[in-house]
């Protein structure tokens, strides 16, 4: 412009346009890379945690262990997200602060010049005194801010826990809405919701107090950051060592360097939230790792699950204990061969522990359980798991919906007197909500007929059926699977006729 050159003017316009589009491209690419890193890290960590959680019943066993691992679903879904996204954001801002520091430390060092302090006995020459003052100022503020911000981490952790408990209470009420409506339990549920929300209020107030302390400190620090650079550079200007322009440059450079060094202070709240989520994720991960280590080390009070080369199931001197090492029952011995029918009667809770021990979901105790080597055991709990989706997929679970043919499924549904569900095989729904308890248990029988296992372990699998219905299902097993070895945990008298031996707990 000073040369009034039109060609140079258009050249500069071209450069501005080039810089404009280059800036947009770099900013967009930077944003996408950051988002991709957040997503990939979250995916990897989620797969790691869900893999550990869903490994060989660990999701069930970890419930019975001591530690801070409540609400694992929230820890995996929410805390993993916060931990990974916040970590990338914090790293991004830290890199920016480091670049800012590198850019201005040289400028401030040059502007600082040399200061000589006369201390009477001796004099001291200081090079770049403003740089050292900025370091002392920022580090002192960071240490003080860290001490003030420490309570925010535990307060944030408490609030996240209370929020998760409240969500779980609401979901639990939704899943049991029919039972609540039938007994008119709305008032009780409302009282429970109120109590859970009051826990949130308490955690919220504690977090607010912690936030307030940080805001007081941050506000004072921000105000002081504007005045302090001028105050430390003013003596040299007053002495005439530097002009006013150098004073303002020194103040601005000092402020930029202090801002870069103040990254911990500026991000105290976000660091506290990130740290709380990291601790919750680590709590679940450590609990699963400790459980894995506990089960892998031989222990005299651990039930041994063995699989020798023989088509026989044996229970050898089985003793069951609680997770706190109290004896539940002891001296259980049994042998089950192909075609045998063994009925276990007695206390329902104790029998349930036997069911879990054989399935490998109750390791606390001693003795051994020898499983047959020719075929996996088919477990039938009181309520079969029916996943959401098509009815065909729910029946074939854990295999895919195309595991069995249409004719096989239709025949099994007719044998179990569920003809009305044949037309709904490809219909998608939440089947555990739609179907009655009796229908669900009959679908468990459908699953058994389709898989045709050689070994069956059943616990109160037909307790919702009428005595006639129970008899019909037991007779169906005897007819369709006569060679299968079956261990049944059931107290109904209708089961006696279908078993050769009994074991009373």
Measured CA to CA in angstroms, residue 421 lies from 418, 430, 473 at distances of 6, 14, 18
Rounded distance between C-alpha atoms, residue 260 and residue 411, angstroms: 73
Number of domains, the chain: 2
- Domain C-terminal end among 229, 260, 294: 294
pLDDT at 172: 82
Give counts: helices (H), strands (E), the chain: 16, 13
Any residues with CB less than 8 A from the CB of 211 and at least 6 apart, and which?
152, 269
Q: Are 76 and 46 in contact (CB under 8 A)?
A: yes
The predicted pLDDT at position 157 comes to 82
Tokens of 78: 């929410």
Same domain assignment for residues 390 and 286? no
Q: Is residue 207 part of a domain?
A: yes
Range of the domain at 245: 33-294
3-state class (DSSP) for residue 459: strand
Q: Are residues 207 and 323 in the same domain?
A: no
Which of 152-161 are b and which e, b meaning 16 or more Cβ less than 10 Å from the residue's Cβ? bbbbbbbbbb
Do 272 and 367 reside in the same domain of the chain? Answer: no
pLDDT of residue 411: 94
Task: Supply the CATH number for residue 70's domain.
Answer: 1.20.1560.10
Question: Helix 268-296 and helix 186-238: axis angle, to 10°?
Answer: 130
- Which helix (H) or strand (E) is 504 found in, with range? strand 501-504
One DSSP character per residue, 186-202 reads HHHHHHHHHHHHHHHHH
Please check whether residue 79 lies inside any domain of the structure.
yes
**Has residue 21 been placed in a domain?**
no
pLDDT digits (tens, 9 = 90+) for 20-77: 888 888 888 888 998 999 999 999 999 999 999 988 888 888 887 777 788 888 889 8
Cβ neighbours of residue 504 closer than 8 Å, sequence gap 6 or more: 344, 345, 346
Q: What percent of the chain has pLDDT over 70?
A: 96
* pLDDT tens-digit readout, 366-405: 899 999 887 888 999 988 989 888 999 999 998 888 889 9
Q: Which of 418, 465, 410, 398 is closest to 437 using CA atoms?
A: 465
288 and 311 together in one domain: no
Question: What is the per-residue pLDDT across 296-315, written as a single tens digit (0 to 9) for each?
Answer: 777 777 888 888 888 899 99
Residues 405 and 445 in one domain: yes
Residue 378 lies in a domain: yes
CATH of the domain at 354: 3.40.50.300
pLDDT (tens digit, 0 to 9) for every residue of the chain, 505 residues total? 556 666 677 777 888 888 888 888 888 888 899 899 999 999 999 999 999 998 888 888 888 777 778 888 888 988 999 999 999 999 988 998 888 888 888 887 877 777 666 666 667 777 777 788 888 888 888 888 778 878 887 888 888 888 888 888 888 888 777 678 877 888 888 988 999 999 999 999 998 998 888 888 878 877 777 777 777 777 777 777 777 777 777 777 777 887 788 788 788 888 888 988 898 899 999 988 888 887 777 777 788 888 888 889 999 999 998 877 788 888 889 999 999 999 998 888 888 888 889 888 888 888 999 998 878 889 999 889 898 889 999 999 988 888 899 999 999 999 999 999 999 999 999 898 889 999 999 999 999 999 999 999 999 999 899 999 999 999 999 999 999 999 999 888 888 889 989 888 7
CA angle (335 as vertex; 334, 340 as ends), nearest 5: 115
As a whole number of angstroms, the distance between CA 367 and CA 410 comes to: 43
Q: What is the pLDDT of residue 423?
A: 92
Distance of CA 331 to the CA centre of its chain: 39
Residue 278 sits in the same domain as residue 317? no
SS3 readout for 414-446: HHCCCHHHHHHCCCEECHHHHCCHHHHHHHHHH
Q: What is the pLDDT of residue 2?
A: 59
Backbone angles phi, psi at 486, to 5 degrees: -135, 130
Question: Number of C-alpha atoms within 13 angstroms, CB side, residue 317?
Answer: 4
Q: Strand locations in 244-323, DSSP E?
A: 304-306, 312-321
Specify whether 348 is located in the same domain as 285: no
pLDDT of 203 reads 92
Residue 28 included in any domain: no
Indicate the average pLDDT of the chain. 85
238 domain residue, yes or no: yes
Q: End of a domain among 237, 271, 294?
A: 294
Domain boundary residue among 262, 294, 326?
294
Q: CB-based burial of residue 302 (10 Å sphere; 0-12 exposed, 13-18 middle, 19+ buried)?
A: middle
**CB burial readout 457-493, b (16+ within 10 A) else e:** bbbbbbbbbeeebbbbbbebbeeebeebbbbbbbebe
Residue 77 lies in a domain: yes
Domain identity same for 410 and 264: no
Same domain, residue pair 312 and 249? no
> Do 61 and 291 contact (CB within 8 A), yes or no?
yes
Residue 27: inside a domain: no
Residues 115 and 152 in one domain: yes
Q: Do 263 and 342 reside in the same domain of the chain?
A: no
Tell me, what's the pLDDT at 63? Answer: 81
CA–CA gap between residue 12 and residue 276 (Å, rounded): 51
Same domain, 315 and 272: no
């Amino acid at each position: 412009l000073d040369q009034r050159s039109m060609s140079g003017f258009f050249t500069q316009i071209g450069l501005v346009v080039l810089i404009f589009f280059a800036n947009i491209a770099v900013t967009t690419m930077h944003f996408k890379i950051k988002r991709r890193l957040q997503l990939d890290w979250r995916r990897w960590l989620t797969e790691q945690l869900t893999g550990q959680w869903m490994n060989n019943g660990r999701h069930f066993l970890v419930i019975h262990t001591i530690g801070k691992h409540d609400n694992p679903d929230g820890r995996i879904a929410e805390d993993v997200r916060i931990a990974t996204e916040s970590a990338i954001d914090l790293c991004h801002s830290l890199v920016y602060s480091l670049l800012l520091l590198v850019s201005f430390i040289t400028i401030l060092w040059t502007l600082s010049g040399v200061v000589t302090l006369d201390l009477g006995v001796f004099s001291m020459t200081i090079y770049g005194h403003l740089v050292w003052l900025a370091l002392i100022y920022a580090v002192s503020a960071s240490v003080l801010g860290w001490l003030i911000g420490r309570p925010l981490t535990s307060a944030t952790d408490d609030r996240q826990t209370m929020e998760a408990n409240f969500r779980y209470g609401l979901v639990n009420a939704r899943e049991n809405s029919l039972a609540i409506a039938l007994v008119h339990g709305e008032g009780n549920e409302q009282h429970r919701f109120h109590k859970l929300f009051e826990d949130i209020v308490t955690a919220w107030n504690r977090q607010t107090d912690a936030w307030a302390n940080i805001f007081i400190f941050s506000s004072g620090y921000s105000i002081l950051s504007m005045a302090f650079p001028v105050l430390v550079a003013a003596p040299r200007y007053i002495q005439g060592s530097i002009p006013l322009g150098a004073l303002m440059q020194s103040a601005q450079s000092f402020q930029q360097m202090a801002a870069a060094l103040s990254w911990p202070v500026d991000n105290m709240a976000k660091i506290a939230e990130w740290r709380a989520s990291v601790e919750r994720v680590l709590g679940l991960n450590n609990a699963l790792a400790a459980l894995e280590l506990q089960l892998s080390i031989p222990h005299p009070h651990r039930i041994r699950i063995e699989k020798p080369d023989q088509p026989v199931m044996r229970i050898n001197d089985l003793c069951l204990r609680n997770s706190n090492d109290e004896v539940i029952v002891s001296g259980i011995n049994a042998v089950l061969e192909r075609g045998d029918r063994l009925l276990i009667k007695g206390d329902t809770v104790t029998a349930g522990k036997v069911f879990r021990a054989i399935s490998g979901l109750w390791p606390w105790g001693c003795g051994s359980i020898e499983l047959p080597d020719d075929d996996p055991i088919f477990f039938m709990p009181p309520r079969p798991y029916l996943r959401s989706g098509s009815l065909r997929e729910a029946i074939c679970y854990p295999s895919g919906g195309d595991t069995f043919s249409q004719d096989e499924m239709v025949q099994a549904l007719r044998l179990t007197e569920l003809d009305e569900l044949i037309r709904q095989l490809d219909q998608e729904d939440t089947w555990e909500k739609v179907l009655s308890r009796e229908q669900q248990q009959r679908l468990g029988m459908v699953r058994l007929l389709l898989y045709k296992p050689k070994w069956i372990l059943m616990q109160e699998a037909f307790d919702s059926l009428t005595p006639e219905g129970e008899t019909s299902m037991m007779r169906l097993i005897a007819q369709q699977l006569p060679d299968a070895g079956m261990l049944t945990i059931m107290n109904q008298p209708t089961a006696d006729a279908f078993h050769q031996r009994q074991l009373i707990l």
